[in-house]
Structure 1
Amino acid sequence: MDLAASLDRIVALLEQGRAADAEHAARIARMQFPAAAEAARLHGAALLRLERPAEARGAFESAIALAPHAFEAHVNLGSALLACGDAEGAERALLHALALAPGHPAVLNGLGNARRARGDLAGAREAYAAVTRVAPHYAPAWLNLAGVELDEGAAAAAEAHARQAQMLAPGADAALLLGHALAAQGRIEEAEAVYAAGCARAPQDARLAYQVGLMAEERRDLARAAAAYEQVLRIDPDHGQALGQLAFVKRSRCDWQGLDALSRRLRDHVAAGRPGVSPFAFLAEDSTPAEQLACARLLSQGVERAAAPQRARLGFAHARRAPGAPPRVGFLANGFGEHATALLTAAFFEHLRDTGVEFHLFATSRDDGGALRRRLRAAAHALHEVAALPAFEVARRVHAAGIEILLDLDGYCGGGMPGVFALRPAPLQVNWLAYPGTMGAGFIDYAIADRCVLPDALRPHFSEAVAYLPRCYQPSDPTRAVPAPPPRAQLGLPDTGMVYVCFNNAFKLNPRSFARMCAVLRAVPDAALWLLSGADGADDRLRAAARAQGVDPARLVFAAKRPHLEYLALYRHADLFLDTETYNAHTTASDAIWAGCPVLTRPGGTFAARVAASLNHHLGLDRLNAAGDEAFVDTAVRLGRDAAARAALRAELAERRAASGLFNMAAYARDFATLLRAMAERRRAGLPPADLG
């Protein structure tokens, strides 16, 4: 076979997707025709498709040595270098190719890819835009242009260019980008429709089905979300993100059928070191502290890899403040509005200002115009509006503000931005408050906790140094006045009898916690169980579960969500809060105690399972921290049968609430400021993070 025929055969094999056969044929052709540059180039192309980039690089370099002016080999070399992780080398190769073939679309597109991988988003956008000018029908450039604009936070421009790409090449990639651009603008229903249409055209593309699930979940259409995640898992049974979200959605619907098997799959996925499972969703599983750390590490490693080019490009330097100077502190959160985060922190921030700490709030959610946002703005030295900005721009603003200690109030919860912290805009970075677990991340130096919520047995499973407060780690707002509630009958409660309450979100309920509640109800026949109404048939499933446990479903009363003060008022009709596990009441427990309702909990082995116990401990009511399920049920039944004991407990709670310091935010702020200063002084002395307090 002559050279031309050999080359034609290799090209045909590549076009048929037979990369291994093409690699074999190209290797033979190179032995037969050692001076043939094209044989070497095609060999490299086959190797690249086989995901052997280092070998492909050698083949392309051989091709260039034989034909240094053939720009295609320089383009291919750029692709191989990019696959090897050498974005700078790829950019050099592509600039050489551009000199040989000015304005060539494939060269410019490859140059954009190299610049994007290097973190040069502006340069990448310039290269992609140049392609659209010289070759307006070249669909990959429109796709890439839309992608880099999304990276930059320019969602409207990304939408326009994704629509152009979809018109030229209506495939899965265009549908994904268009959907992402719409979702970034808050146009959730439109985004879901685009993803669903993409699914119809490409039913085996798990990416599109997964996005349909996310959008349905965002709209609280949990049945549709579950169906979408199940479709993803039929396509790809090891899709970690879909596994985690399906389990979380099933918990949110109180759909416990098949949940044990799904949970085992999740834990096996994490144990195998496969990424994708949301650490936040994983907290609701019956997982160990070691498993939670492993799950968090898998995600944080991906975050760090994605941030590495931008981190190198930004190259933030951090000057050391003078010893004794007040620390300049930043708090980054999605919840600086009508949200649990603001409800917990508003009074704390008002007192923190009196401690001499200069603090800045970075709000990643838009200003809702509410009273809490106004309180926070008035309390802080500055409130920075950073909603809808990309991670690198948020990081720039944090760094420009000279923040010495940056606290992450979201972690891996919804709306969190771990990518900001992976860029290291502050020399000290801290995990606090919303995410009840370890971040498992090298870019987080400290976690703030207390010794009840994070005891010695749990300490080895936190990657951060731990800064211990001498009080409960969770602040609260003691300025709230609890109003009088509507009459019991108006709320669906019986006129008399014991009222047990659990206003935890439905995903925190599980068969074990609910069986415990039903055991209490069976032993206290005149009692009602007051629950927060769930989504998508959750209430009916709980009624059916109660019937299966021998409890009349009519004894379950469901409360709709209400404005915060109206919700607090409901606790005046509640006698005892029955907590859940493996994920406790957190803000909800604090709310119940503040409103005068005692909380009965069973402390578990993880941070998320010990928050209510910490509140009780620091309140001085450790006897409400049951040692096991039997003790939990016995305590709840005893109180349910003894009205005098209930009244005495409620009176004791009121006294301890006033005297214990649990709600003393001036003292809390002083203790918190002491920890911040200790962190800062260690760094100023050249010392690494270490456990404090």
Structure 2
Amino acid sequence: MKSSAGDHEGAATAFKSFTEIRPDFYQAHFNLGRALVQLGRDREAIESFQRALTLHPHHVKALTQLANAHKRLGNLDEAVRLSEKAFELDPADTSLVITLARILSQSGRYREAVEVYQKALEIKPDSAPMHYNLGNLVRRISGDAAANPHYVRAVKLDPNHVNALINLGITHRRDSPETALEYFRKAVALEPDSLTALYGALSLEQRYCDFDAREISHAATLKALEGDAYRSLIWQTAANWIYESLFAPLPWPAIHILQRHISKLIDEEIRVQGSLPEQVPSAVASNRRLRIGYLSPNFGSHPVGLVTLSLIPAHDRGRFEVHAFSTRPGGSDGSEAAIRHRDAFDTFHEIGNRHARDAAAYIRSQGIDILIDLDGYMDNTSPPILAFRPAPIQVFWLGHGGGLGLPFVDYLIADAIVLPPGEERHYREAIVRLPDIYHCTDRPPIAGDCPPRAHWGLPDDATVYCVFNNPDKIDRQAFDCWMRILKGVEDSVLWFSPFRQNSNTLLSNLRRYAERQGVDPARLVLSERVPDKSIHLARIRHADLMLDTFTLNASSTALDSLWAGLPLLAMQGDRFSNRISNSMLHAIGMGDMVCADLDEYERRAIELGSDPSARSDLRNRLHDNRDTTPLFNVERFTRHLERAYETMWSRHRDGQPPAPFDVPLMR
């Protein structure tokens, strides 16, 4: 009774007393073990389950509990042996099948796990849970397409199988996103507080700029996070939600809850896999080069890869040895940027096909002093590697706005605009502020020749506003504001960047919302994607003004605009993620283009759209500032970043813990 009421300590005491009175009663030992499990005392629980099995060798539940306890302690071989014994005793018990298969999977024995399900399905072919779990395994081994029939079968057997519907959404997301959205919405209808289903729905509604549906899903998410729905999330989905909060903001308490949940689950995975041997500090010569490592799946044609192209060769090789650790499965994306990165690093390591523990051990074997994660929660390849502590100092920088909030990340690199003094309380990392700007830049070539406006579908004599941001960043507030701007400037148009797949659905939604605001949908212009970035940069110059988004700013897109000479109008933000363009504009001496509020943003956009002379003055200022201000001064930025690394290392070498500091301005 005490255990069922939640008093596990009282239950353990009661069952312990009972075993002393009746040491031959196997059920008392079993119940004591279960109470100890609830208290997190697995080693003691193992003793109780073993006593129960001595008295009752065929006690299937005791075997299963014992297997799970060994699994949690990382004794996977013993866990497999015990699970196999339980499975032999009752091969038709779905829970036993799933337990054995999961433990085999955690041991890396995926094909054996598949065989367990196949054997069990011969006995119980109509088990939706087993078809679902088999689908998960097949997906890991052979990919989405191979897994789909198993998920479809699970849903056919159990139309209310929420997880199978969610996984059908996940497996269709890339190639058939509209079908994926249908699956996610079905799952939400069945389980309105499923944060996994809500994430799938919201992220796609955002991609398509379906503002009405997006706001409903966002409200449902906030409601679900008020309770404990997050507890059912795997760590990757919790991480997805933190990344999604850049686009659809979550309150700080919810973000902190998700961060703690991620930390707890990753810690449990490490206990199962076994941590790396503790690093023994070694004497380090003060004059040797620091070994820094950059960790990312995106050393290629990705915004992170592109903006770091000039940084890597700019590092002072007399003071730094620079390594890349690519977590991209299957290696390089084959782009020109990937080739340049491979040549720029002192050593380029492919670790994308290694398990997290193996990847961490490999990084440690390279003697890396400072490991800089450039990914964070974008692709979720870094956190499980960082958790094994492969380097004595671990840093998050650049991948996305904000921090990770994980105990194994020591520093977060920022600046005084994106993360002003007083906001450190929101971050677990020690904050390092660079003096000019936290974001690095590249200086890519711009094509000399570019087709005229008409080639891109733009009127020759119109005022052209452009929004070349990822459409995921567009929300109703920004779009409604832009429509008012168009109505305020006669014959103006809004030029959108090339969208991803299913552009028709996206553009249809935007035109529908434009019409609702009383704007002719034909004033929204979409141009095709241009594979040659130099031509893309050249065509940007056909626009008159770039309008930034509000919730998540432009970053690499803002840099493209400013480098090409196109003025950018932004609005003051209240978080790291919506202060990025503010930081960039100040670093290029154009801080007056950051508006205090929505009214000023709208008013200035209309004024500039109506005044060619004012726009010309802005372009001239931008042209003059480009080569004389810090934003595109790669060498100056690199020296500041290197000073940050050296300060971190100096503290570590002196036995001091990570602590916040500001890097002084270097002339």
Fold equivalence (TM over 0.5): yes
Which amino acid letter does the alignment assign opposite residue 604 of structure 2? T
Aligned equivalent of 1:34: none
Return the match for 2:524 from 556, 562, 566.
Answer: 556
Return the match for 1:344 from 289, 307, 313.
Answer: 307
How far did residue 640 of structure 1 move? 1.8
How far did residue 678 of structure 1 move? 0.8
Which amino acid letter does the alignment assign opposite residue 232 of structure 1? A
Aligned equivalent of 1:498: 463
Aligned equivalent of 2:514: 546
Q: Summarize the Cα distance change of 1:312–1:51 in structure 2 as closer, same or farther, 3 Å threshold.
A: farther
In the alignment, the residues of structure 1 paired with residue 418 and residue 222 of structure 2 have an alpha-carbon distance, to the nearest angstrom, of 23
Q: Summarize the Cα distance change of 1:603–1:303 in structure 2 as closer, same or farther, 3 Å threshold.
A: farther
In the alignment, the residues of structure 2 paired with residue 674 and residue 400 of structure 1 have an alpha-carbon distance, to the nearest angstrom, of 25
In the alignment, the residues of structure 2 paired with residue 122 and residue 380 of structure 1 have an alpha-carbon distance, to the nearest angstrom, of 41
How far did residue 381 of structure 1 move? 3.3
Return the match for 2:364 from 381, 396, 399.
Answer: 399
8 A Cα contact 2:194 2:224, kept in partner: no
Return the match for 2:480 from 515, 529, 545.
Answer: 515
Report the structure, 1 or 2, having the larger helix content.
1
How far did residue 558 of structure 1 move? 1.4
In the alignment, the residues of structure 2 paired with residue 292 and residue 67 of structure 1 have an alpha-carbon distance, to the nearest angstrom, of 48
In the alignment, the residues of structure 1 paired with residue 96 and residue 353 of structure 2 have an alpha-carbon distance, to the nearest angstrom, of 25
Return the match for 2:325 from 356, 359, 362.
Answer: 362
In the alignment, the residues of structure 2 paired with residue 574 and residue 48 of structure 1 have an alpha-carbon distance, to the nearest angstrom, of 68
8 A Cα contact 2:446 2:537, kept in partner: no
Structure 2 residue 127 is matched with structure 1 residue 171: yes
| RMSD between superposed Cα atoms in Å | 3.2
Deviates more, 1:414-423 or 1:512-521: 414-423
Return the match for 1:627 from 585, 593, 596.
Answer: 596
Aligned equivalent of 1:418: 383
Deviates more, 1:484-493 or 1:614-623: 484-493
Which amino acid letter does the alignment assign opposite residue 465 of structure 2? Y
SS in 2 for 1:314: coil
Q: Deviations over 1:565-616 (max 9, x none)?
A: 1543431322221111111112221222223322211121011101111111
Structure 2 residue 334 is matched with structure 1 residue 378: no
Q: Summarize the Cα distance change of 1:382–1:523 in structure 2 as closer, same or farther, 3 Å threshold.
A: same
Aligned equivalent of 2:575: 606
Q: Summarize the Cα distance change of 1:508–1:115 in structure 2 as closer, same or farther, 3 Å threshold.
A: same
Structure 2 residue 45 is matched with structure 1 residue 83: no
SS in 2 for 1:449: strand
Q: Summarize the Cα distance change of 1:57–1:672 in structure 2 as closer, same or farther, 3 Å threshold.
A: same
Q: Summarize the Cα distance change of 1:489–1:191 in structure 2 as closer, same or farther, 3 Å threshold.
A: farther
- 1:307-346 to structure 2, matched below 5 A, reads 307=269, 309-310=271-272, 313-319=275-281, 322=284, 324=286, 325-346=288-309
Structure 1 residue runs without a partner (length 5+): 1-22, 24-46
Aligned equivalent of 1:209: 165
In the alignment, the residues of structure 1 paired with residue 315 and residue 176 of structure 2 have an alpha-carbon distance, to the nearest angstrom, of 37
Deviates more, 1:102-111 or 1:185-194: 102-111
In the alignment, the residues of structure 2 paired with residue 178 and residue 188 of structure 1 have an alpha-carbon distance, to the nearest angstrom, of 12
Structure 2 residue 636 is matched with structure 1 residue 680: no
Aligned equivalent of 1:670: 639
Q: Summarize the Cα distance change of 1:570–1:58 in structure 2 as closer, same or farther, 3 Å threshold.
A: farther
TM-score, length basis structure 1: 0.84
Structure 2 residue 212 is matched with structure 1 residue 247: no
Return the match for 1:590 from 554, 559, 569.
Answer: 559
SS in 1 for 2:371: strand
In the alignment, the residues of structure 2 paired with residue 186 and residue 585 of structure 1 have an alpha-carbon distance, to the nearest angstrom, of 37
Which amino acid letter does the alignment assign opposite residue 682 of structure 1? R
How far did residue 623 of structure 1 move? 1.5
Which amino acid letter does the alignment assign opposite residue 490 of structure 1? H
Which amino acid letter does the alignment assign opposite residue 316 of structure 1? E
SS in 2 for 1:354: coil
8 A Cα contact 2:289 2:318, kept in partner: no
Return the match for 1:448 from 394, 404, 413.
Answer: 413
Percent identity at matched positions? 29
8 A Cα contact 2:299 2:341, kept in partner: yes
Which amino acid letter does the alignment assign opposite residue 492 of structure 2? A
In the alignment, the residues of structure 1 paired with residue 245 and residue 327 of structure 2 have an alpha-carbon distance, to the nearest angstrom, of 24
Structure 2 residue 496 is matched with structure 1 residue 531: yes
Aligned equivalent of 2:665: none
Q: Summarize the Cα distance change of 1:434–1:104 in structure 2 as closer, same or farther, 3 Å threshold.
A: same
In the alignment, the residues of structure 2 paired with residue 483 and residue 184 of structure 1 have an alpha-carbon distance, to the nearest angstrom, of 47
Deviates more, 1:513-522 or 1:156-165: 156-165
Q: Deviations over 1:316-372 (max 9, x none)?
A: 335255363443333221212332221122221222252522333222213133333
Q: Deviations over 1:289-321 (max 9, x none)?
A: x35643553443443553452486435335255
- 1:442-481 to structure 2, matched below 5 A, reads 442-481=407-446
In the alignment, the residues of structure 1 paired with residue 84 and residue 604 of structure 2 have an alpha-carbon distance, to the nearest angstrom, of 69
Q: Summarize the Cα distance change of 1:305–1:474 in structure 2 as closer, same or farther, 3 Å threshold.
A: same
In the alignment, the residues of structure 2 paired with residue 355 and residue 92 of structure 1 have an alpha-carbon distance, to the nearest angstrom, of 58
Which amino acid letter does the alignment assign opposite residue 184 of structure 2? Y
In the alignment, the residues of structure 2 paired with residue 558 and residue 483 of structure 1 have an alpha-carbon distance, to the nearest angstrom, of 23
Aligned equivalent of 1:9: none
Q: Summarize the Cα distance change of 1:123–1:614 in structure 2 as closer, same or farther, 3 Å threshold.
A: farther
Which amino acid letter does the alignment assign opposite residue 130 of structure 2? A
8 A Cα contact 1:330 1:407, kept in partner: yes
Q: Deviations over 1:370-428 (max 9, x none)?
A: 33333223333333322243332322223333333222222222344323333333332
In the alignment, the residues of structure 2 paired with residue 374 and residue 91 of structure 1 have an alpha-carbon distance, to the nearest angstrom, of 53
8 A Cα contact 2:101 2:116, kept in partner: yes
TM-score, length basis structure 2: 0.87
Aligned equivalent of 1:36: none
Structure 2 residue runs without a partner (length 5+): 663-667
Deviates more, 1:401-410 or 1:320-329: 320-329
